[in-house]
Amino acid sequence: MEGLAELHTHLGGSVSSDILWTLAHEQGIALPVKDYWDFDRLVTVSDPRGVPDLNALDAIYHWTELIQSSPLAVEVSVHAAIGGAYRSQGITTLELRFNPMKRNRGGERDLDHIILAAIRGLDRASLEYPQVRAGLILMMDRTFTPRQNEVIVEKAIGWAARGIVGIDIAGPRPGGARYDYRQVQPMVETAREAGLGVTIHVGEEGGDMGREEIGEVLEVLRPDRIGHGILAAGDDELMRGLREAEVVLEICPTSNLLTKALADEAAVHDVFRAFVENGVRFTIATDGPEMMHTHLRDELDLLLRIGALTQEELAEANARGHDASFVRGRFRAARV
């Protein structure tokens, strides 16, 4: 297989515990633990049985986001994540996503400084690893006000020429109620018109509500890609919609198992077979290799072992990852 492509990984889940530990100390951040191994358990999904739900995962993100809440920490994190992905996994197309507004200490730090620090990390990694095409995705959040999300998209467009390649939205549903994706439609349209890629976290969990959200996202936001989208498996109408719109799903098997979005390996198998048999496009990712204690090659091995995909189908999913990447053109792609 050629170099690997990974399109769905969060900055908060992509930096190894030892680097986060040092970053926390360098910045004098008060931690609830004094032992490195306790810290490792704090910032990763350390129990192989996973977490009870997505709220438990958000509690882990709280710590990595707090530690990454400075220009220094963001630069080190981006640089480490890109270099690590190439050295350990041979990843040559990588997109890292993060929410800059969850890293500026409630407005205390300047948002542009945070974003430019990430870009500096990207630039330094590009110098060291010219084989890697890497880009950054700025994330909106479902708990944010429309104005906050609008600011994030304005920043993404403003820094697009420097390596911001797309936008996304994630985060818990306020009050647990169905999220109204229409409220970010203007932001998504503006981003698309500016040439940014659009990927949307949807259809990861939430049963019928999650399926309704996939339908709404397809119709209203018309994204290029969808983060997860696994709830569409087996739903003929949604699978047809995804196929016809040529949306690429970014599927993260181990993450889905750890958050209980998928009950077991048999469920993972069935999701992939449903998508293959219905012509739904997808690519494989980790969601955050360090936090999930997995790596992209582990994901490919898992899918092969449980018979979810053949070697040929895996290669196809990887090639699709390179093709569906928002990182294209400009000097970065020209170097490959």
Distance CA 144, CA 157 (A): 19
Distance CA 202, CA 219 (A): 13
Using the minimum distance from each CB to Zn ion, give the nearer residue, 9 or 126: 9
In the chain, at which residue ranges do the beta strands (DSSP E only) sit?
4-10, 91-98, 133-141, 164-170, 197-202, 225-228, 248-251, 281-284
Q: Please, which residues have CB within 8 angstroms of residue 173's CB and are 6 or more apart in sequence?
A: 142, 179, 206
Q: How far is the CB of 97 from Zn ion (least distance, A)?
A: 7
Total binding residues toward Zn ion, as defined by CB under 5 A: 2
CB atoms within 10 A of CB 105: 11
Gyration radius of the chain over CA positions:
18
Using the minimum distance from each CB to Zn ion, give the nearer residue, 71 or 253: 253
**Sheet-wide strand order for 164-170:** 4-10, 91-98, 133-141, 164-170, 197-202, 225-228, 248-251, 281-284
Choose the binding region for Zn ion from 40-48, 53-61, 123-131, 287-295 (rule: CB under 5 A). 287-295
Choose the binding region for Zn ion from 136-144, 176-184, 262-270, 283-291 (rule: CB under 5 A). 283-291
Choose the binding region for Zn ion from 115-123, 186-194, 284-292, 318-326 (rule: CB under 5 A). 284-292
Largest CA distance in the chain: 53
Using the minimum distance from each CB to Zn ion, give the nearer residue, 24 or 226: 226
Using the minimum distance from each CB to Zn ion, give the nearer residue, 24 or 43: 43
CB atoms within 10 A of CB 329: 9
Q: How far is the CB of 42 from Zn ion (least distance, A)?
A: 20
Measured at CB, which residue is nearest to Zn ion? 287
Half-sphere exposure of 245 (CA within 13 A, CB side): 22
Q: How far is the CB of 8 from Zn ion (least distance, A)?
A: 6
Using the minimum distance from each CB to Zn ion, give the nearer residue, 6 or 287: 287
Using the minimum distance from each CB to Zn ion, give the nearer residue, 203 or 227: 227
Q: How far is the CB of 287 from Zn ion (least distance, A)?
A: 5
Q: How far is the CB of 288 from Zn ion (least distance, A)?
A: 7
Report how far apart the first and last C-alpha atoms of the chain are (Å, whole number).
Answer: 16
Q: How far is the CB of 167 from Zn ion (least distance, A)?
A: 14
Using the minimum distance from each CB to Zn ion, give the nearer residue, 24 or 137: 137
Site for Zn ion in 202-241 (CB under 5 A): 227
Backbone angles phi, psi at 39, to 5 degrees: -65, -45
Footprint of Zn ion (CB under 5 A):
227, 287
